[in-house]
Amino acid sequence: MTRVSHAYFNNNKRDPVCALDVDTEYHKYKDKTDRFGCMFCGVKVQFTRGKEHNDPHFKNWPLIRHKSSCDIPNIERQKENYDNDGEIELLVSTILPRAKRLEKTKKAINVNRSNKAKIYGGRRSKKFIYNIVNLLCKQNLYQLKPEYEDLELLIEDGSRIKLKELLGTQDEIIKRINESEEKRVTCILRGNTRKAQMVKNNIKIPLTIGNNPSYKNTQNFSLFIRWDYVDKNKEFIESIENSLILCYGEALTNEFGTEMEIFSVRHQVVVLKKYKNIL
């Protein structure tokens, strides 16, 4: 069943509320929990804090279905086309965050960052990315198997993205960043990591670059762990060096180059292959 990160509150269609914020400021909502509506069709949805109270989201209100025109059941219906229901079900019920909305909130930057850390560095990211790994072809450079290329996922703003447009190498993702309005994209990066470097108190893990344009890795790209998340992650850094990895997050270009911020190595990065020789 689809879990959604945002919902309308009190029928306010301009400014959907984020489940993470409802959780933080629960006192404001606790007597009005029947006033959340689906962002796509408006039917009543239910706020829940999730298992162990660390995964706030909105889900179906008991016995109330989404309208037949709603994007949620339409996207979910794709699972009927595939045999391996479990994986596809989780993927089609994942609604991808859109950076722009998170940027637009009027909160201080550190709150936004902590929300982003929860979205990308949370347990659901890990499930999402491990499911993607199962759709890759190991014999063919870990590319997406052709039958999954056109599987569509829903984005919070109601737009859709095909799996093949979500996954990419560094050159492909840089191209998408340049073409995007916000100069940042939510994506799954596939690339080869080098040894980590300390840059002031931050950790930077550059990807290898090559000269052959057909490998689509000719431009600089790094994974970046900002100083405030270094302590939580430092024991896992070695495990992702010199490896072919898949990494889920938000990529952007700034004055230091193009990078993807990692809040949690364990939840955002999967190692597909570890190299013995240093790259």
- Smallest distance from the beta carbon of 194 to Zn ion, in angstroms? 44
CA separation, residue 10 to residues 38, 66, 110, 180 (Å):
11, 18, 27, 32
Among 21, 41, 123, 164, interactor with Zn ion by CB under 5 A: 41
Is 279 among the residues that bind Zn ion (CB under 5 A)?
A: no
CB nearer to Zn ion: pick between 18 and 70: 70
Is 221 among the residues that bind Zn ion (CB under 5 A)?
A: no
Give the dihedral sign, CA 136/138/139/142: positive
Of 49-57, 59-67, 157-165, 265-273, which part binds Zn ion (CB under 5 A)? Answer: 59-67
CB nearer to Zn ion: pick between 95 and 223: 95
CB nearer to Zn ion: pick between 40 and 248: 40
CB nearer to Zn ion: pick between 96 and 196: 96
3-state secondary structure of 193: strand
DSSP labels, 169-183: -HHHHHHHHHHSSSS
Is 91 among the residues that bind Zn ion (CB under 5 A)?
A: no
Of 62-70, 136-144, 192-200, 237-245, which part binds Zn ion (CB under 5 A)? Answer: 62-70
- Smallest distance from the beta carbon of 10 to Zn ion, in angstroms? 17
Gap between the Cα atoms of 36 and 27, Å rounded? 15
Q: Do the bridges between strand 167-168 and strand 184-192 make them parallel or antiparallel, or are there none, so unpaired?
A: parallel
Among 40, 47, 128, 248, interactor with Zn ion by CB under 5 A: 40
CA separation, residue 78 to residues 64, 126, 163, 207, 276 (Å):
21, 22, 13, 34, 40
Is 154 among the residues that bind Zn ion (CB under 5 A)?
A: no
3-state secondary structure of 90: helix
Residue 112: Cβ within 10 Å count: 15
CB nearer to Zn ion: pick between 154 and 246: 154
Is 70 among the residues that bind Zn ion (CB under 5 A)?
A: yes
Site residues, Zn ion (CB under 5 A): 38, 40-41, 66, 70, 72
